[in-house]
Structure 1
Amino acid sequence: MCTFAKPVSAAMSVFAAAVLWPVNAHASAAVLRIGYENGARTSGQPALGFNECCKHSIQVDDLPRTGRYAIRSTLMYGDAAVAGGSRAESHSMDIKDSYFRSGRTVYYGFSIYLASTWQSDSREDILFQWKPWRDRCEADKPPSAFLTVQPSGKWRLRVNSDGNACSTADSVKKVSFDLAEVRPGQWHDFVFRFTWSHGSQGAIDGWYQTHKSPGWRKVVTATGPNTFNDDATTQGYLKWGVYKPAWNSGRTDVTSRTVFHDNIAVGGSFAEVDPAKGQLPS
């Protein structure tokens, strides 16, 4: 049965799409692929950064989507705040091949594993982010987009945008899309195609599968603003791991979170970033 993105608000136009295999034009190498096959947390990218408080925060693990290794991110309630919040994340802040801004079209692929012991919580978990820097005139800025696990048991994509040159908390437009059911004990594969724009030219397409139920399904097709009207020098980068905003102020139903990520990729086609394919030969 088809599963389509369910808009939670109407800032972007959404079109139902049939279940289909994406068209793979060329299986060339992605401009960036982080697969951890050398057994190191940096995966051969010396500029890869980490938001971590503790030894348990971010470690290589031998539970991969493909190959031999993946990255494990563990966050416990009471861990010291990092970068202003309760998080255990890897980030590409210093990797230029990951940067994005309004006017660009980019494919992204990645896999996320939730253990069979994953428990539902009363508040969301943020597991992947597309995060822009703030402009000089801004006090802060939310991610352009982020992927969450919801208390409802859904994967949800949240999109933020603003056509104003200087964003404020009140000027940001927010829209969310429910993508698929969360299935603990499985690798969840995602591919997104973003045409980044703070105006009507923006577009998002997203595909999804699990390793136990292979077969890509189109889970979101949307048009409309999906990022910010940034200064010419402002760009964005990627973050993956666990961020638990609710823990910044108090407890929730769970006291620890562990997730695994593998095959994070940035490229120009679906085939280049397909997380089920692993590392392509150089």
Structure 2
Amino acid sequence: MKRLLQLVAAASLMPALSFAGVIWKGDFETGNTSQWTRQQAVANSRLQVVTDVVRDGRYALKATVKQGDDPINASGNRNELLYLTHETQGKEYYYKWSTLFPSNYPVHDSWQVITQWHQESCCGSPPLEFFVRGDKINLRVGGNTTPVLWQTSIDKGNWHDFVLHVKWSSDKKAGFVELWHNGEHVLPKTYGANQFGKELNYLKMGLYRDAAIKPEGAIFHDGFTMATTLEDVMPPAPAPVEEPAPAPTPVPDDTTIPAEDPTPVTETPVTQTPQLPTTQLPTVGGQTPTPTPVSNNPNGLPDSSEGVAGGCSASGTSGTLPFAGALLMLGAIALRRRRAPARAVARRARR
């Protein structure tokens, strides 16, 4: 029994263990604001759950403020949702949410608070706040007398994804904040008091601004999650794209193929046509007739060189044979005339 009591006493001295997991969600996926504790708004229309502008899921919050909106009779104009998170000293949490400034969001030199962890007492600047001044989003811890820890452009029309890591403490050496913006680690652990004394904090989200700002302003919030580990709130990194393996480099082939011996060319002797003898014709009337070449055609027919295929060309040889025949006939007649007187003389001598 004594041993059991000692174990119970030792266990009571051990710090409380934080188990991984989501503590709370205020992401509006219920289709309304029922996830939140209550609201501070002049009308329900100032805090609308919408479906046309969302970051995650199907629903998001549209918070609208007009000059004069003062639902709690305090400084400034506001319409905000509250959740009593009641973070205590030494607790450590991760928070995730997204915010969008539409293209017509009014830019003003004065302050406009968009998300804050407020102390339990009623008045004064909160111990941790995200606020807009001009066209910049600012993160400040410890009240309005401390410097801004981080800043970026409001970048109208694009969602801002925030992941905030906080250890709550009124001790400036124990408390810290750490921030990721759009997946980038933009603020490493920065130590400082983020609670006022023993006061607990609670979350407020919407739009709270200087009463001097006249134009109507609207802002969108979505996906708020409170958890105990970074893995519960940080979107997974996109899988790396595998690049295709490079094509293998071809290896040069050093094998030399010997050239083949050239095939000797056999020269075929050209057969020359022998010159045929020509017959010398006797002179007739002082003119020598043109000799007629003998045809190489064994059949005695004229070949293509003798004008058969030449048609009616004036420069062809189609008239050569008739002309030669006429010359032969003239030669024969001349020989007969020469022989006739000789025969007559011989006859007279015989008589």
- 2:136 is matched with 154
- Offset at 1:141? 4.4
Match of 2:299 in 1: none
Determine the structure 2 residue equivalent to 1:187: 159
1: CA distance, partners of 2:145 / 2:88: 17
Tell whether the 8 Å contact from 1:201 to 1:223 is kept in structure 2 after alignment. Answer: no
Assess if the C-alpha contact under 8 Å between 1:157 and 1:179 holds in 2. yes
Q: Which has the higher strand share?
A: 1
Q: Name the aligned partner's letter for residue 49 of structure 1.
A: R
Kindly indicate whether residue 180 of structure 2 is the aligned counterpart of residue 203 of structure 1.
no
Alignment check: 8 A CA contact 1:110 1:191 kept: yes
1:25-64 CA-to-partner distances (Å, cap 9, x unmatched) read xxx641111111121122xx2x521010124211111121
Distance, in Å, in 2 between the alignment partners of 1:184 and 1:157 is 18
Change (3 A) 1:224 1:88: same
Residues 84-114 of structure 1: CA distance to partner in whole angstroms, max 9, x if unpaired? 2411000103xxxx22133111111111111
Residue identity in the other structure for 1:267 = A
Deviation at 1:228, TM superposition (A): 3.0
Looking at structure 2, the residues matched to 259 and 276 of structure 1 have their Cα atoms a distance apart, in angstroms, of 26
Task: For structure 2, list consecutive stretches of 5 or more residues without a partner in the other structure.
Answer: 1-19, 238-351
Q: What is the match of residue 68 of structure 1?
A: 58
Q: Which residue matches 1:91?
A: 82
Corresponding position of 1:39: 31
Secondary structure at the counterpart of residue 37 of structure 1: coil
**Contact in 2 for aligned 1:110/1:275 (Cα 8 Å):** no
Among residues 142, 147, 165, which one is paired with 2:125 in the alignment?
142
Q: Any stretches of 5+ residues in structure 1 without a counterpart?
A: 1-27, 162-171, 210-215, 278-282
Highest CA radius of gyration, 1 or 2? 2
Alignment-derived partner of residue 188 in structure 2: 221
Q: Distance in 2 between matches of 1:256 and 1:270?
A: 36
| DSSP 3-state at the match of 1:122 | strand
Asked if the contact 1:203–1:221 (Cα under 8 Å) also holds between the matched residues in 2, the reply is no
Measure, in 2, the Cα distance between the counterparts of 1:122 and 1:173. Answer: 18
SS in 2 for 1:59: strand
1:48 aligns with 2:15: no
SS in 1 for 2:110: coil
Output the amino acid matched with 1:41: T
Query: For residues 236-264 of structure 1, what are the alpha-carbon distances to aligned partners after superposition, in whole Å with 9 as ceiling and x for unaligned?
Result: 110000000x20xxx33x42110111111
Q: Does the CA-based 8 Å contact 2:106-2:216 persist in structure 1?
A: no
Supply the AA of the counterpart residue of 1:261.
Answer: H
Q: Would the alpha carbon gap of residues 223 and 178 (structure 1) be closer, same or farther in structure 2, given more than 3 Å must change? A: closer
CA shift, 1:144, in A, is 1.2
The answer to whether the Cα contact below 8 Å between 1:179 and 1:220 also exists between their aligned partners in 2 is no
Deviation at 1:194, TM superposition (A): 0.8
Amino acid at match of 2:147: V
Q: Give yes or no for contact 1:154–1:178 (8 Å, CA) kept in 2.
A: no
Aligned equivalents of 2:23, 2:227: Cα separation in 1: 5
* Cα distance, 1:190 vs structure 2: 0.3
Give the structure with the higher percent helix: 2
Aligned to 2:322: none
Where does structure 1 differ by over 3 angstroms across 4 or more consecutive aligned residues? 274-277
Q: Which residue of the partner structure matches residue 272 of structure 1?
A: 232
- Provide the aligned C-alpha RMSD in A: 2.3
Report the TM-score when normalising by structure 2.
0.57
